[in-house]
Amino acid sequence: DQQVKQNSPSLSVQEGRISILNCDYTNSMFDYFLWYKKYPAEGPTFLISISSIKDKNEDGRFTVFLNKSAKHLSLHIVPSQPGDSAVYFCAASAGDNDMRFGAGTRLTVKP
Amino acid sequence: EAQVTQNPRYLITVTGKKLTVTCSQNMNHEYMSWYRQDPGLGLRQIYYSMNVEVTDKGDVPEGYKVSRKEKRNFPLILESPSPNQTSLYFCASSLYGSGIGFSYNEQFFGPGTRLTVL
């Protein structure tokens, strides 16, 4: 039972344009959400997070939006750069030490 | 350098032959966790540990054991590996676990161990 879903396995965008990665969840108890980025042959690295008391969090080129009523969050990367090409995982936690991850979206940014 | 290390990075073994994947962190983190990554399923938590001698099951604990005798080490043990345990395994640590009363902390991941069980 996947409680966190990333329905797009891949996304391709042109350098300089916006990348939008989406994530849906089913558990209304989730109260903390994170995005991780993963390059080949490396472990995931933390990118940005958001608490359920907020609807937006920004860090440089990366912004995460949370829509609690729709149980949906998205990661916006503006402008996209070739170095952003990686697999992005959405993760959520209900404060129970059990972090749930989505299946990941492979982003390719073309020069 | 702050890091999470895993050994071995690659392992091919046969069904039933006990193996241990080691994990060590040098950040004095209290919380450590093991995940497996499979195509289309993302990262699934196997076991986690809130502190020394405190471990608990994650989503997919069957066929695995862990121990936390020291704060820095959190080995993953497969007593009798089977082919369905062929996967990419990640160890992770964070200052604290998530939970009421704790600050949420992002997890730091190791580089991964690719295990093949024949």
pLDDT along chain B (118 residues), means of 10: 94 97 95 92 91 91 97 97 97 74 71 97
Q: Which residues in B lie closer than 8 A to residue A95 (C-beta atoms)?
A: 98-100
A34, A51, A102: residue with CB nearest B106 = A34
Cα–Cα distance for residue pair B78/A38, rounded to 1 Å:
26
- Please answer yes or no on whether B42 and A6 come within 8 Å at the CB atom: yes
At B39 the pLDDT is 87
Closest CA in chain B for residue A88: B42
Q: Which residues in B lie closer than 8 A to residue A2 (C-beta atoms)?
A: 41-42
Q: By the 8 A CB rule, do B44 and B36 touch?
A: yes
Q: By the 8 A CB rule, do B108 and B29 touch?
A: yes
Backbone angles phi, psi at A108, to 5 degrees: -120, 120
Q: By the 8 A CB rule, do A107 and B48 touch?
A: no
- Please answer yes or no on whether B42 and A103 come within 8 Å at the CB atom: yes
Q: What share of chain B is helix, strand, coil (3-state, %, to 5)?
A: 5, 50, 50
**Sign of the dihedral defined by the CA atoms of residues A100, A76, B109, B69, in that order:** negative
